Amino acid sequence: MKFKLLFLLTTFFFIHANAQNYIFGKIISEDNAEIADVTVVNIRTDERAVTNRDGHFMVSGRAGDELRFVKAGYERIVKKVSKENIESPMNVTLARATILIPEVEVKQGITGDLKIDAKNLNRPKKVEKLVKDIDRYIAQKSDPRILAAKPGEFVQPKGQGFSIGKVKNKWDDIDLAGYLKTALGEEYFTDLKIDKPQIDHFISYVMAGGFERKNILKYGFCSDADLYRFQRFVLTRISSYRAPQTQK
């Protein structure tokens, strides 16, 4: 009888000690705004979750685990899970990443650019009058006699014109891949278990999977929204990228 009781108690404590808990929480910014699409990684189990539009997340873990919070444009932080975090929600605040901008000496003066000069001179009434005068001048029709050819001058015959070719994009895929690697940081990819030598190949793999980038390449500009969209697309492609390696 004592042996059975001891066995039951041992089994109970073993199950209790190894029971799977879930950590719930909410992530906000320094101005108390909910932050969506934050990647939450349990470093011990490598399990990850993404916050919803209200900043809430749920990931399995236990007291003593360390959670890493990653989002482009914000400082990455690591929080250790306490017993209180198991019993009540974990509140996390992310700070904006600091971007150092080189100091530029600005000299006041007329540049010839109406918008810049209007701002620097701070004379809205005079500038407004100047803009109206210029618009009125441009709207006037030119006297045909001014543009007419003088006797003996060569006149270019009118025709259908010619094509100068397709306008090239400001970026190509290599430019975009380089920007994504710099903006997100190598740590973002290593957290996904992508080795550093494979980061460029993985980015190309994600883009080849259908990541829409037409406007990014056209204008040579990747917005924060594009970065978030790329991160979400990564989560849909990471499993298939790892599959061939697992099958080896």
Would you kindly state where each structural domain of the chain is located, as residue ranges?
17-94, 173-238
CA 43 and chain centroid, separation = 23
Q: Return the CATH number of 17-94, one of 1.10.287.3510, 2.60.40.4130, 3.30.70.930, 3.40.50.300.
A: 2.60.40.4130
Residue 84 has pLDDT above 50, yes or no: yes
Helices and strands (H and E) in the chain: how many? 10, 7
- Coil, strand, or helix at residue 190? helix
Comparing 159 with 198, the larger pLDDT belongs to 198
Please give the Cα distance from 31 to 95 (Å, whole number).
9
Contact 222, 214 (CB under 8 A): no
Residue 233 has pLDDT above 70, yes or no: yes
Q: What is the model's pLDDT at position 25?
A: 93
Q: What is the model's pLDDT at position 109?
A: 58
The amino acid sitting at 2 is K
- Coil, strand, or helix at residue 48? strand
Please give the Cα distance from 194 to 238 (Å, whole number).
9
CA angle, corner 9, sides to 8 and 13, nearest 5? 120
- The model's pTM is 0.38
